[in-house]
Structure 1
Amino acid sequence: MTEENEGRGGRWGLFLLALFVGLPLLALCGLTVLGPPSPETMVFTFAVTAMVVGGLMAPWSPRLAWGARLGFVALFLVVVWRVFSADAGRTVRAYTVDAGSPALASGRLLDTIVPERDVAIGGTLFLQAMGQMGPPEPGLLDALRDGYARMRLDQGPVPSSTVSTFVMGQTPEDHTVFRVAPADRFNPPEAVVLFLHGSMGNITVACWQVAQAANPVGLDVICPSTDWRAEWEGEEGQAIVQAALARLRSENVRRVYLAGLSRGGIGISRMARDLDVEGIILISGASSRARPKRVPTLVLQGRRDPRTPPAPARQYARAVGATYREHPEAGHWMLLSHHEWFESELRRWLAYREGLGDVHGSGAAEAPTGDN
């Protein structure tokens, strides 16, 4: 009788595990299958499904309880593989800011588990279906798939803060920071790009894409996180930026180029006067209520951007005498959909600011037109 009660107690434990852990994971898996998902996510989904179905029926069916146990073991193995493989990315590293320490700590465990590609593509499809993505942007899904394929080929599995931003939050006292350094770097950098993400969170593929232009010039790319609204000009957002700048200066970084995508660019344009940086880069975003700062500035914009139209970006560029580049066919996600053009323009501007020759060949870098 005692053994039977113990067995029944264990099955009720599986029931609670399936209810409070398995069902939320299954909902996330349901989002990713819209992708379609990658092979690792398919295995993850199968394991979670077995755990949920078996766990919810375990109190009444000992056989299904074994299915739940096998699903849990499979899920555990997938998570372990993700943790070790994502942590071994070639140049993308995830860290955590801890208010109790001036140094960066190791990244959040959750950031190593989530396959960002499937969440980002599935989430985009879901938001489009719900009418929450604003005006449609042709080619967005293809650009996302291509960007993640290129990053996977270059890096293998990478960490991602996509889910932890919504589950755990991102605050000045505790937030994720990505760092992408040149593969052949052995000495601390003298110059970095500090990149501020747009709304819906700090997606790794955008940070990595900026690094494809900055790393060949010898610059690290640092990508801090704020909450999903990306209100960088707000109190918490500014605190994160100022803390990042202070930390970089303490590491003897001499030149910081502050870049922002979408809401990140809008935030920079509004708080630029309060920031001690050597250059500004606005990507698909500037505010009509900007407070421009006269430092070397690059503005990259898509003419067909349905979310942040070109007018404020052009206005900002005129106000500071910036280098302004506008792609006639690009939309909001120009850094992925037209990544070769984006990389070329950003790399050329950074090379000129750093006083380097043409990073693809010989000769001096040409001065970007209109730069101050």
Structure 2
Amino acid sequence: MRKWLGVLVVSLGVASTVDEGHVAVAAAHMIRITGYYRDPDVAKLPEVMSAAYARAREHDVELMPRDPIEFGDVQHAAGVLIFLHGFAGSFVLPCWEISRAAARANLATVCPSTGVNGDWWSASGERTLRATVAALRRRGVKSFYLAGLSNGGVGATLLAPRMRGTFKGLILLSGASASAANPGIPVLAVQGRRDTMMPASMVRAYTRRVGGKYVELDAGHFAMLLRAEETHHAVVSWLTR
């Protein structure tokens, strides 16, 4: 199943005329049928994902693959939120969702890709993040925030301390590394209480250890999708405080 998902996402990447939503919803159906993810909300995924993509289309969001994905005016925003995707690669939908919250704080959003596994903690992942920051600095950006979803959250907690002084804040969505060093910046973690892939206890312990703000939602691993408005509110409140 993991190999099948990888093939599906690679196909999405090379088929530039394919609407992302069609591929992602098909994958959600396959995940539900096969039981690949032992998540309490997996049965709801296809319906909720279909509705989320419908909302994105209503807002005229371009759902074709691209790298990096950008939302907002990078040159004139107060700063940029860099969002690290999770396993299965870079998708427009979660990038757009986090960009809605970032925009409320006058931040543009940039979502680079490091491939299907979302292993941002690897040498390749770190190079991609550093190159993204360097490219944005050349465009005049001076203020950065870092966010990550699932594996992206794990990577963000490990990379932020290595890039100390780069980011003003760290946002974690359903993911963190228990062994990550303190990044020395404000941290927000939004986590599903019933997450079986990134246990809430682990993310809660990390957030407490680094003195961050922890928001727990009644959901599993897909809290950002199934509790989109609550996630949006938590991120907006934290960014604009």
TM range (shorter): 0.7 to 0.9
Match of 1:344 among 223, 229, 233: 233
Distance 2:209 2:98 in 1: 25
Larger RCO, structure (CA 8 Å, separation 6 or more):
2
Q: For residue 153 of structure 1, report the CA deviation from its aligned partner.
A: 0.5
Q: For residue 124 of structure 1, report the CA deviation from its aligned partner.
A: 2.1
In the TM superposition, what are the counterparts of 1:178-257 in structure 2 within 5 Å? Answer: 178-181=69-72, 185=73, 188-257=76-145
Alignment partner of 1:113: what SS? Answer: coil
Distance 2:76 2:87 in 1: 31
Structure 1: which 5+ runs fail to align? 1-26, 33-107, 162-175, 353-372
Q: For residue 292 of structure 1, report the CA deviation from its aligned partner.
A: 2.5
Please report the RMSD computed on the Cα atoms of aligned residues, expressed in angstroms: 2.3
Q: 1:249 to 1:156 in 2, by over 3 A?
A: closer
Whether the 8 Å contact between 1:112 and 1:158 is mirrored in structure 2 is: no
Match of 2:18 among 114, 125, 128: 114
Q: 1:111 to 1:245 in 2, by over 3 A?
A: farther
Distance 1:312 1:287 in 2: 8
Whether the 8 Å contact between 2:40 and 2:194 is mirrored in structure 1 is: no
AA partner of residue 335 (structure 1): M
Give 1:127's aligned residue.
Answer: 31
Whether the 8 Å contact between 2:40 and 2:220 is mirrored in structure 1 is: no
Q: For residue 295 of structure 1, report the CA deviation from its aligned partner.
A: 0.4
Distance 1:288 1:148 in 2: 33
In the TM superposition, what are the counterparts of 1:355-370 in structure 2 within 5 Å? Answer: none
Per-residue deviation, residues 105-156 of structure 1 (Å, max 9, x unmatched): xxx8x46411111101111222343343343524222221121011010015
Whether the 8 Å contact between 2:39 and 2:220 is mirrored in structure 1 is: no
AA partner of residue 45 (structure 2): L
Whether the 8 Å contact between 2:29 and 2:45 is mirrored in structure 1 is: no
Whether the 8 Å contact between 2:28 and 2:45 is mirrored in structure 1 is: no
Q: 1:273 to 1:148 in 2, by over 3 A?
A: same
Whether the 8 Å contact between 1:232 and 1:238 is mirrored in structure 2 is: yes
Give 1:300's aligned residue.
Answer: 190
Distance 2:134 2:111 in 1: 15
Q: 1:320 to 1:156 in 2, by over 3 A?
A: closer
Give 1:313's aligned residue.
Answer: 203
AA partner of residue 177 (structure 2): S
Report % sequence identity.
32
Match of 1:281 among 167, 171, 182: 171
Higher share in helix:
1
Runs of 4+ in 1 over 6 A off after TM superposition: none
Distance 1:255 1:298 in 2: 18
Range moving further from structure 2, 198-207 or 211-220: 211-220
Whether the 8 Å contact between 1:271 and 1:291 is mirrored in structure 2 is: no
Distance 1:209 1:148 in 2: 10
Distance 1:267 1:235 in 2: 11
Q: 1:248 to 1:156 in 2, by over 3 A?
A: closer
Distance 1:288 1:222 in 2: 26
1:260 aligns with 2:169: no
Per-residue deviation, residues 30-64 of structure 1 (Å, max 9, x unmatched): x99xxxxxxxxxxxxxxxxxxxxxxxxxxxxxxxx
Q: For residue 250 of structure 1, report the CA deviation from its aligned partner.
A: 2.3
Q: 1:142 to 1:249 in 2, by over 3 A?
A: same
Whether the 8 Å contact between 1:298 and 1:324 is mirrored in structure 2 is: yes
Distance 2:100 2:209 in 1: 29
AA partner of residue 299 (structure 1): A
Alignment partner of 2:59: what SS? Answer: helix
Alignment partner of 1:155: what SS? Answer: coil
